[in-house]
Structure 1
Amino acid sequence: MPTETRALDTRTAIVQATFDLTLANGAVPSLDAVVRASGVSKGGLLHHFPTRVTLLRGLAQWLGAKSIAWFDDLCEQGSAIDAWLAASTPKSEEMNEIFVLFTTMQALRAAGETGDSDYGEFTAHVDRKIAEELAGPDAEQRALLIRLVGDGLFFASLLGSSVPEAARLALSERLAAPVPS
């Protein structure tokens, strides 16, 4: 097996173990727990993730990459606007990744990491995909507005106040409509 492939497999095993432990325990695990769960030596872990913060960033980036792939799959079924608003009303099976992401982001903040989110590439990707579908000089602003509407739907869903699908579809159509001049 090529060295690059082995390194990628090891890195993925470490991140997957961190995800699984965070989900199972409700908190970000210690490096020692990740070593035991991943089957990687402590030196192997530290080679890929020298600190707990770098491990958390790696987990956030991994979740972001998975979210981009998931969002792109949704886009293939319709428009990016529909995909985003549908993604913004998570299903129960998606809540595990959301929980781990929130736990990871909170742990990063607690460690003093307050800069741009390592998950930020996902939101930038969503903005780009939506803006590509919109016409006009205000496409980027409208894309941001649509993403923020989705964020509102997301938090409403988390709080148990989700919007019915028919209303979400009508909202999607309204947001996709050109703005009259």
Structure 2
Amino acid sequence: MSTKAHILQTVRRLAIETGSVPSMGVIAQQAGVSKGGLMHHFSSRNALVEGIAVQAIRDLDQALTAAAERGTVVETWLRLSSSREEAALYRAMSILLTDRTSLTDTLLQHAAEATRRWEHLFTVETGDPVTASIIRLLGDGMLLNSLADDDTGASLDSILQWLNGRSPT
């Protein structure tokens, strides 16, 4: 694993464990690199958050591509959207990600392109672009519920059962 990937993995773990993105000093210490070495790869906490976000998009791309091969892309999307670990990571990043100045055009472009890819996978699986959009929005809502620790909605299994009863596949 490259040093940059190791740093991102460390930041992700710390963010999930602590509920925030720690200081550069803590990250360097936990990753076993000097602060200068950390700064060589990531010049700021915002750059680290962007790195985590881009990596999260890549990880989700890989998971959904593999799920598409199995015919389970919708279920995989919804399970990941309701994941406590993913919610903890996004909760930790949310303060920095809500600051428009920390959102680079590159990150926004990655997110927009990923959303289009994912909706395409949903369309292929369901056969309907409207259903695909609804599924993406449902997953987005489930993630927001997880961010707020709101378990009052329908269970994931009942949602999947309902979707399977309505889906043309």
Please give the TM-score of this superposition, normalised by the length of structure 1.
Answer: 0.72
Higher alpha-carbon deviation: 109-118 or 161-170: 109-118
1:42 to 24, 27, 35: 35
TM-superposed CA distance for 1:32, in Å, is 1.2
Segments of structure 1 that go 5 or more residues without pairing to the other structure are: 1-7
Match of 1:98 among 77, 83, 87: 87
Quote the residue 1:167 is aligned against.
Answer: 158
SS of the residue aligned with 2:98?
Answer: helix
- Higher helix content, 1 or 2: 2
Note if contact 2:78-2:156 (Cα within 8 Å) is conserved in structure 1: no
- Counterparts of 2:113 and 2:42, CA distance in 1: 20
Q: Matches of 1:166 and 1:173 in 2, distance apart? A: 10
**TM-score, structure 2 normalization:** 0.76
Letter in 2 for 1:83: T
Structure 2, unpaired ranges of 5+: none
Supply the RMSD in Å over aligned alpha carbons: 2.9
CA distance in 1, matches of 2:141, 2:87: 15
Distance 2:35 2:79 in 1: 41
Residue identity (%): 25
Q: Given residue 78 of structure 2, which amino acid in structure 1 is its aligned partner? A: L
After superposition, the Cα gap between the structure-2 partners of 1:161 and 1:75, relative to the gap in structure 1 and judged at 3 Å, is farther
How far has the Cα of 1:111 moved from its partner? 6.8
Structure possessing the higher radius of gyration over alpha carbons = 1
- Judge conservation of contact 2:8–2:52 (CA < 8 Å) in 1: yes
